[in-house]
Amino acid sequence: MEEVGKSDESSPFMEVITTTATAMNTIYPLAKLPLDFARILKSLLVFSTLGVAFLVLYYASSNNYGEFLPTLGRFSFTVYDVNGTIKDEYYELRKVLEAASTKEKTVILTSLNEAWAEPNSMFDIFLKSFRVGNNTAPLVDHLLAIAVDEKAYLRCKKLISHCYFLKTKQSSQMANEARFMTPIYLNMMWERLAFLQTVLKLGYNFIFTDTDVMWFRNPIPHFTPSSDFQTSCDRFNGNQFDIRNPPNNGFLFVRSNKRTIKFYKFWVSSRQTYPSLHEQDVFNRIKNGTYVRKLGVKFRFLDTNYFGGFCQKSRDFNKVCTMHANCCTGLDRKIADLNTTLEVWKTYLSSNNYTSPQPSNWMVPKQCHM
């Protein structure tokens, strides 16, 4: 044991320490230092030690950008603004969601590009349906339009209170009308889906509506509290829980919970499995798969008598809530037939017959090719 101790004392490392200590003591003998100066040295030593420890903990708990990571077992700081909104990468989105949402944290979402936001184009017709609908005008207070290009965003700000600019690398390309199944169209659909996933992660329920859906009545009373994911159909087979219903995700209500957040994550990631399909076709591929069944997502398919479209129209004016220009391609055709739809609706309202069943004659589609 003595040999070990002797070896340690004679090691190069110990020699350096001993030499340094001796030199420092020669220059500044601690015993001879003034009391205040000795205290200052001790304080500097303590603070230096704490500083080094803090830096070690900081870089151990941060990413490459020096930002604290919100992971278990690491230090993390949450920063809030004066209104209590978390300031993070979703700060602007959180603010607009909070401003638009109901007290139940539900928001109405639609997406918009320059072609659809131009005067007398689709967005104007969409907003008009809220004005002529049956007590639907107040719902615009909870409408948040997601603009995919700058011109759409600026026009949106002139028309409604809540707009969000979803900036992407392809924003300039998305400004024009996106033809069905073109690469730009597919990118728009998948980026929209990823955005909806983010909304759920932030804790908000949403009603997503395509801008070519006319709103004639408040749909919220027709949503059931026990279902996670409630979607419209191209054609309704009569059974609201039958997974074989052909869905149309251009109008749907989704609750934010663990099941739906995981489902949307899986849905978005499934693009890699089906790169040539749009998101609704992928939905049909995965909705009854093993993983989704294991998640336990509760799907419900909405009756076209209340949530109709050009594929299968509502049969009763007294029941219809929404009318979708589905089974139709081409912006001009959609605009023409939706304008006809609004005129038919106003004629119905002027009849003042809201009690007995009112068989519908929508007089569309005309311009749209079935």
Q: pLDDT at position 354, please?
A: 73
Element (H, E) at 110: strand 106-112
User: Which pLDDT tens digit goes with each residue over 180-225?
Assistant: 557 777 888 899 999 999 999 999 999 999 999 999 999 999 999 9
Residue ranges and CATH numbers for the domains of the chain are 25-77 (no CATH), 91-351 (3.90.550.10)
Q: pLDDT at position 19, please?
A: 46
pTM as predicted: 0.77
Q: pLDDT at position 181, please?
A: 58
Q: From CA 323, how far away is CA 213, in angstroms rounded?
A: 6
Q: Give the residues of the chain that fall short of pLDDT 50.
A: 1-24, 27-28, 30-31, 33, 56-76
